Amino acid sequence: MNIALIGYGKMGHAIEALAAERGHKVTARIDRDDPWPAKIEADVAIEFTTPQTATANLLRCLEGGVPVVCGTTGWYADYERVAGECKAQGGRLFTATNFSIGMNIMFALNRRLAELMKGRTDYTVGISETHHIHKLDAPSGTAITLQEQIVECGARKAEDVPIASYREGEVPGTHTVVYDSEIDTLTLTHEAHSRKGLALGALLAAEFLASAQPGVYTMKDIL
C-alpha cells in the first residue's frame, strides 16, 4: 500500500517506520510550509497536523479522491462539514480521537462503568489527561470523548465531569477517569508508553480504508 503522510512530525516519523515493517511504502510527505502536489500519488493519506490546518487538509484529500485517515484532534467543530463533503463526493474518511487499540478498549470500559454509576450520587467523577508540551489542544480529544461517553450514558451532566489537562515533558499520553466517594475510589487509567500504539492504530485504519466502500468510518468499524 502506498501512503501519503500529511504532517511529518514525530507521529509522521513513527507511522513511516512502522509502515515499512508492515510492507507499506510512504510515497509522499507533506509537512508544514511544504507545497501540495498537483496530485497525491497514494492509496491512502494519513493526516496528523494541527487543529488549525486539519480541516483544509482533509478537504484537499477528499477533493483529490484520496481516502484519508485523520488523527488530528481539536478540529471537530468542522466535523459535520467535512463528513458531509466526504459523502457528497463519494469519498472515504476515517477519524478517531485516539487510534490506540488499548485506549479504544478503555472507551468501552468507560462507557460500561458510566452505566453502572448512573444514579450513584454518592460518587463524584473527574477526568485528567497529561501529554507532552508540544500538544496544541487542551483538553485532549480523547479526554473529551471520555467525558461525552459519561454524559451520553446519563451518568452525569457535562459540567459535572471536569477535565484537568497537564502538559509535561515528552509524555505520550495518560488519561484517567476517577469516581470518588467518602468510602472508596474507582480509577480507570490508560497510559501510553510511546507513540507506537497510535501509529499502529492509524495504519490499521489506513489498511481498512484502502479497500473500504465510500463512507465515514471510526475505530468501531475495525475493532
Catalytic-labelled residue, pool 10, 87, 132, 135: 135
Q: Which amino acid is at 64?
A: G
**Distance (Å, whole) CA 70 – CA 57:** 9
User: Residue 193 burial by CB count (10 A; 0-12/13-18/19+): exposed, middle or buried?
Assistant: exposed
131 in catalytic set: yes
DSSP string, 47-67: E---TTTHHHHHHHHHHTT--
Q: Catalytic pick from 24, 131, 175, 190? A: 131
| Annotation says 134 is catalytic | no
Alpha carbon distance 173, 177 (integer Å): 14
Enumerate the active-site residues: 131, 135
